[in-house]
C-alpha cells in the first residue's frame, strides 16, 4: 500500500541520514508511529492460527510502543553504534524552514502521527508482542548486514 511504501521510504531516508553522521533537526518530533516488527508479526500469526476466536476476525496489529521520529533516529543510531546527532528544533521553525526550500511534504511525513488501533489481538487473543520496537529494529538492521551484532 501507499502508506507502507511511505513508511519504508521514511525509514530508509532516516537510516541514510544517520549513517552520514549529519546533525538532524528532528529532536522535537515525537508524533507516534505504529509499526510491527517481523518477529512480532510472525508471532501474532502463530497465535491467531491456533486461537478459536481468531477465525473471521480482521485485525490491525502493532507493537505495543509507537515511537516518534526522534526515537526512531535514536534507535537507528544505537543499532549502528553511532551517535544520534539530534537537535531540538521547534516544530514551527522546522515546518517554516522546510517550506522555504520546497519540502513541506517532507515535514508532513515527519511530523504527522501514524497510528492504528492495534489492540484487538491483545484484547481478544491474549497476544502480547514478544519484542520491543527498538529490539525489532536492531534485529532487522543486523539481518540486513547494516548493524553489528
Each residue's pLDDT tens digit, 70-118: 999 999 999 999 999 999 999 999 999 999 999 999 899 889 999 998 8
56: left (phi over 0), alpha (psi -120 to 50) or beta: left
Report the pLDDT value the prediction gives residue 10, as an integer from 0 to 100. Answer: 74
Backbone angles phi, psi at 57, to 5 degrees: -80, 135
Question: Grid cell 543510531 — which residue?
Answer: 77
- The pLDDT-based confidence of 28 (bands split at 50, 70, 90) is very high
Report the pLDDT value the prediction gives residue 109, as an integer from 0 to 100. Answer: 87
Q: Is 146 helix (H, G, I), strand (E, B) or coil?
A: coil
Mean of pLDDT values over 44-57: 93
Question: Rounded to an integer, what distance in angstroms lies between the CA atom of residue 17 and that of residue 109?
Answer: 15
User: pLDDT over 70 for what percent of the chain?
Assistant: 93
Query: Counting beta carbons within 10 angstroms of the beta carbon of residue 124, is it exposed (0 to 12), middle (13 to 18) or buried (19 or more)?
Result: middle
Instruction: Give, to the nearest 10 degrees, the angle between helix 104-111 and helix 2-20.
Output: 100
Mean pLDDT taken over the chain: 90
Judged by average pLDDT, the poorest of 4-8, 17-21, 49-53 is 4-8
Query: Using an 8 Å Cβ cutoff, are 125 and 56 in contact?
Result: no
Neighbours of 48 (CB within 10 A): 18
Amino acid at each position: 500500500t501507499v502508506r507502507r511504501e511511505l513508511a519504508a521510504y521514511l525509514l530508509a531516508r532516516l537510516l541514510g541520514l544517520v549513517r552520514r553522521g549529519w546533525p538532524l533537526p528532528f529532536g522535537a518530533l515525537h508524533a507516534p508511529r505504529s509499526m510491527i516488527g517481523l518477529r512480532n508479526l510472525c508471532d501474532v500469526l502463530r497465535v491467531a492460527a491456533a486461537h478459536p476466536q481468531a477465525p473471521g476476525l480482521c485485525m490491525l496489529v502493532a507493537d505495543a510502543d509507537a515511537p516518534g521520529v526522534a526515537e526512531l533516529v535514536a534507535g537507528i543510531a544505537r543499532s549502528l553504534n553511532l551517535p544520534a546527532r539530534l537537535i531540538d528544533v521547534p516544530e514551527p521553525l522546522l515546518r517554516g524552514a522546510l517550506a522555504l526550500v520546497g519540502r513541506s511534504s517532507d515535514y508532513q511525513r515527519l511530523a504527522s502521527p501514524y497510528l492504528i488501533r492495534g489492540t484487538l489481538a491483545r484484547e481478544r487473543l491474549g497476544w502480547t508482542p514478544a519484542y520491543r520496537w527498538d529490539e525489532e529494529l536492531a534485529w532487522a538492521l543486523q539481518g540486513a548486514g547494516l548493524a553489528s551484532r
